[in-house]
Structure 1
Amino acid sequence: MPNFTTFLDVNTHYFPVKAALIFPARGEHYTYRDLLDRVNRLGNGLKRLGVRKGDRVCIYLPSCPETLISYFAIWRMGGVCVPANIVLKKDEITHIIRNSEAGTVITNEAGYRDVILQLKSEMSALRNIIIVGDKDLGEGTVSWRSLLESSPELRAENCGFDDLCQLQYTAGTTGLPKGAMLTHGNWMAAVEAEGWVLGLNESDVYLGFYPMAHVGVSWGISTLKAGGTFIIMERFDLEKYLKQAAQYRATVLSSMPPVLHTLVNSPPGVEDYLKTVKVVVCGGGPLPQKVWEDFE
């Protein structure tokens, strides 16, 4: 039966030492072999904590490699991801954790001290709090590093196309956020469609700044599915965006209408940073036709 993460096994076989993830903010590079190793270790670590197939795990992290590793590890062991944007506050996170029935949260020190620490006494169902980072925050938490000491061997859980793998919470513009249900089949169809639309292959490099708690992370995952490289920006910064596009020879860029508007109105020479780009993904709002035409 299918499990969405099995493409990692295939790519690790064919491209073991090829760069899968690059995180310039910390100078980190992960090959496909590195990525699968960490995914398997975290998946086994979650199992050690008692997380089982169908259990919900909330990811409350900024955009970073650990966020993507968490997605893959949860899916691989048959769990259900519940991504939560780091801009959300205590009441919103409380609703998401309670409504999703998440028993485990993966966060960092800031997320723990600012939000999770305040709500954990109110939620008896919250069994595991996993902390990404160098500090040991003591009783009631589990360090990310300790989970990565688990076995690097983990066979992907048998899952059906219709098996739930993610609850993606809406913005809640008409009330409380609602969890949209995504399955392994949904993700397989999404990355196949995106790969086909963009013409992705193993030579592609995607520079992405969309929040990884948002479904926009799919463009980076689609690039990985094709055997390419995903450059993760923690947040958008125009100077870093241009420099990284040139440095890593990006072929696919994430963008938003204000970003394209800024590029169009920048001094001559900006295009020199984008010589390798073949396609731009634009989201987050309507794109005026004139801006797109001027950009092209």
Structure 2
Amino acid sequence: MGRESASPSSPRLAGSERRCGCPPSGWWVGIDGRIPGRRPDTEPAAPVRRRKLFVLSSRPSARIGGRPPAGSSIQMTIETPPGPEVPPDEYETVTDVIEDKVARKGDDPLMHFKEEVYSYEDIDAKANAIAASLQGLGIEKGDKVCTFLYNSPDYLALWFGIAKAGAVLVPLNVSLKANGLAYNINDSDADTVVLEEGTRENYETARDDLENVEREYLMGDGADGEDGYRSFDTLLDGDADASPDVSLGPDDPMCILYTSGTTGMPKGVVLPHYSYVNTGWEYCNNMLTITEDDRLFTHLPLFHVNAQQTTVMGALLAETDFAMETWFSASEYFDQIREYDATIFNYIGTMIPVLFKQEEREDDADNPARVGIGAAAPPDIIEDFEERFDVFLREGYGLTETGTSACINPADERRIGSVGKSLTYTELEIVDEHDRPLPPGEEGEIVVRNTRPNTVMQEYYKKPEKTAETFRNLWIHTGDIGKKDEDGFFYFVDRKAYAIRRRGENVSSFEVEAAIESHPDVQEAAVFGVPSELGEDEVTAAIIPKSGADLEPLDIVKHCEERLAYFKVPRYVRFVDDFPKTATERVEKYKLKEEGVDDAWDREEAGYELER
């Protein structure tokens, strides 16, 4: 696989072979040796043979990171510094990147899935065949193709094939059904849908309500023609040896991704080709420094922008490979990282606290991961998590509309609790209800704008009024509450939709959840407001206890009372077995809210008085 061992006598110049526009303009020299303990604000450098390195550097911005194993030997690593901020001019579209990287990497591995490995050429040949078949069906540039699929190599090839044909990918959440599924397909104007046996049951709850669909392709053995489904395998009969000749530019749409729709009907976020190039480049060169000696890992679905733009495009642009699973499994997560020998993983939603709540194992720190990058990790467990799993966490912030990311904590200047500073293509601000910038420390809405064209959403598909509302005053309005400090670091406070107002005070559900989840018997918590008989909201907590825990509602209240202002302590507490979640592990709080509090424990009814 071209990953040689490095030694002081014959160091591998890991950066010298990189072909992602980063010439070896200088060297870092790192030593894996006896370094006393972890510096919590630094990121270990890219590894050789996927081993964690604990790097010393002559560059002012680099510091010591990582915890070396006892008795470790001296090992030298040489690596290039980060490359240019902007992608090379020849990369304007997803297809530009695919064509160039396949030519360079050939039969080198690109994707690891379960026990199989697929090369750059393997995926590209299937993509070419699919593209040719789509064109043969009359699918033209700009036509929409819906995918209703779980992660798989064929899904990746299908995405690439759709891109090569000049069509627009419309990836659908596999949990959708009935009206919700029909709405997204109809709204997208797609006339072609590709599904699989695992999503067929949900698809058929919406099938009779579809308005434009003319062709339905089924992955698997169930397509016999009698039920109207065509076999996906017929799409693989096209010419696999050549990519179709389609003229594409950086501003041509690549994808329409439908938002979760928790505050209204879903909106189709239109992202152009260059957004994929730009975010992938930002991820592997500016947010991180990824080399061909890294292997990326994600469980996030290919119908989500994170997996598409960071893991897949990041791996392509860094000329390395990635491993992918179908779903998040807390009990198997680090075993999967070990099995795939992965060095970098993405996290989102509640992953970090859920992983941290797993029963400790002697081999927790014995894993190849060096960096986890994501959002929403509770600040009070980050350092303990890093110590336990011997990995460095990089917190950031972003959304589909901003091309996955908007800001990130600098590796050499991290502030725990912050989501960091803006990226090379973004500006952030905190504004009031009239879009006036607020001074440091004051809470307001987080707004984002791009400084590089074609890097963020173009529009909400067929929703000009919603587009104008989101882009008012030339800023993307995120719907999130945040603040900034004097040094330009930003802090996420809460979703505006989930913010709670109690007795004239603002309550962050994120803060209350973090307090509750610090209880040793709590697995996960979701906090939201319910209408109060006195007006405004009452703080409500839905809680999943740890297995076998003997937990009472009053235990939660007393635990919060020690950690939160009195007006933030939940009035209602309800224990549940599970939460409704999106496919990206976000709790669907609106569903919990709809369930009401009739079966919840009520602090006021119980007569417990908080100390003020």
TM-score (norm 1): 0.91
Q: Is the 8 A contact 1:3 1:156 kept in 2?
A: no
Q: Show CA shifts across 1:33-56 (max 9, x none).
A: 101111111111211222111000
**Quick one: which amino acid aligns to residue 123 of structure 1?**
L
Q: Partner of 1:227 in structure 2?
A: 319
Q: Partner of 1:174 in structure 2?
A: 263
Moved more, 147-156 or 184-193: 147-156
Moved more, 70-79 or 254-263: 254-263
Q: In the alignment, is residue 261 of structure 1 matched against residue 348 of structure 2?
A: no
Moved more, 233-242 or 54-63: 233-242
Q: Partner of 1:85 in structure 2?
A: 173
Aligned equivalents of 2:188, 2:196: Cα separation in 1: 20
Aligned equivalents of 1:50, 1:240: Cα separation in 2: 44
Within a 5 Å distance, the mapping from 1:47-66 to structure 2 comes to: 47-66=135-154
User: CA shift at 1:67, angstroms?
Assistant: 2.1
User: CA shift at 1:138, angstroms?
Assistant: 1.6
User: CA shift at 1:289, angstroms?
Assistant: 1.1
Q: Partner of 2:409 in structure 1?
A: none
Q: Partner of 1:109 in structure 2?
A: 197
Structure 1 pair 34/256, CA: closer, same or farther in 2 (3 Å)?
same
Aligned equivalents of 1:91, 1:124: Cα separation in 2: 12
Question: 3-state DSSP class of the match of 1:105?
Answer: strand
Aligned equivalents of 2:349, 2:212: Cα separation in 1: 42
Aligned equivalents of 1:235, 1:168: Cα separation in 2: 19
Q: Show CA shifts across 1:102-155 (max 9, x none).
A: 11111002323x233344443342011111112324242221111112111223
Aligned equivalents of 1:282, 1:200: Cα separation in 2: 16
User: CA shift at 1:262, angstroms?
Assistant: 4.2
Question: 3-state DSSP class of the match of 1:168?
Answer: strand
Aligned equivalents of 1:137, 1:256: Cα separation in 2: 39
Q: Partner of 2:295 in structure 1?
A: 205
User: CA shift at 1:170, angstroms?
Assistant: 0.8
Moved more, 117-126 or 205-214: 117-126
Q: Is the 8 A contact 1:120 1:126 kept in 2?
A: no
Q: Partner of 1:21 in structure 2?
A: 111
Question: 3-state DSSP class of the match of 2:369?
Answer: coil
Question: 3-state DSSP class of the match of 1:5?
Answer: helix
User: CA shift at 1:201, angstroms?
Assistant: 2.1
Q: Partner of 1:32 in structure 2?
A: 120
Moved more, 45-54 or 252-261: 252-261
Moved more, 99-108 or 149-158: 149-158
Moved more, 261-270 or 224-233: 261-270
**Please, which of 368, 380, 383 is the counterpart of residue 290 of structure 1?**
380
Question: 3-state DSSP class of the match of 1:271?
Answer: coil
Q: Is the 8 A contact 2:177 2:203 kept in 1?
A: no
How many residues end up aligned between the 2 structures? 290
Q: Is the 8 A contact 2:162 2:169 kept in 1?
A: yes
Structure 1 pair 188/36, CA: closer, same or farther in 2 (3 Å)?
same
Q: Is the 8 A contact 1:203 1:227 kept in 2?
A: no
Structure with the bigger RCO (C-alpha within 8 Å, sep 6+) is: 1
Q: Partner of 2:78 in structure 1?
A: none
Aligned equivalents of 1:262, 1:118: Cα separation in 2: 33
**Quick one: which amino acid aligns to residue 67 of structure 1?**
Y
User: CA shift at 1:16, angstroms?
Assistant: 1.3
Within a 5 Å distance, the mapping from 1:133-144 to structure 2 comes to: 133-139=220-226, 140-144=228-232
Aligned equivalents of 1:261, 1:254: Cα separation in 2: 14
Aligned equivalents of 1:55, 1:228: Cα separation in 2: 31
Question: 3-state DSSP class of the match of 2:237?
Answer: coil
**Please, which of 101, 107, 120 is the counterpart of residue 11 of structure 1?**
101
Aligned equivalents of 1:59, 1:53: Cα separation in 2: 17
Q: Is the 8 A contact 1:167 1:182 kept in 2?
A: yes
Please list every run of 5 or more consecutive structure 2 residues that lacks an aligned counterpart in the other structure: 1-89, 387-612
Question: 3-state DSSP class of the match of 1:201?
Answer: coil
User: CA shift at 1:263, angstroms?
Assistant: 4.0
Q: Partner of 2:364 in structure 1?
A: 271
User: CA shift at 1:174, angstroms?
Assistant: 1.9
Structure 1 pair 104/230, CA: closer, same or farther in 2 (3 Å)?
same
Q: Is the 8 A contact 2:191 2:215 kept in 1?
A: yes
Q: Show CA shifts across 1:165-212 (max 9, x none).
A: 111111112211000110012111111111121212222211101122
Aligned equivalents of 2:206, 2:353: Cα separation in 1: 41
Q: Is the 8 A contact 1:75 1:81 kept in 2?
A: yes
Aligned equivalents of 1:227, 1:9: Cα separation in 2: 12
Moved more, 148-157 or 172-181: 148-157
Q: Is the 8 A contact 2:177 2:205 kept in 1?
A: no
**Quick one: which amino acid aligns to residue 77 of structure 1?**
A
**Quick one: which amino acid aligns to residue 261 of structure 1?**
P
Aligned equivalents of 1:277, 1:115: Cα separation in 2: 36
Structure 1 pair 18/98, CA: closer, same or farther in 2 (3 Å)?
same
User: CA shift at 1:254, angstroms?
Assistant: 2.3
Please report the RMSD computed on the Cα atoms of aligned residues, expressed in angstroms: 1.9
Aligned equivalents of 1:273, 1:150: Cα separation in 2: 46
User: CA shift at 1:245, angstroms?
Assistant: 1.1
Aligned equivalents of 2:302, 2:363: Cα separation in 1: 27
Q: Partner of 1:244 in structure 2?
A: 336
User: CA shift at 1:260, angstroms?
Assistant: 2.4
TM-score (norm 2): 0.45
User: CA shift at 1:162, angstroms?
Assistant: 1.2
Q: Partner of 1:280 in structure 2?
A: 372
User: CA shift at 1:86, angstroms?
Assistant: 0.4
Q: Is the 8 A contact 2:256 2:271 kept in 1?
A: yes
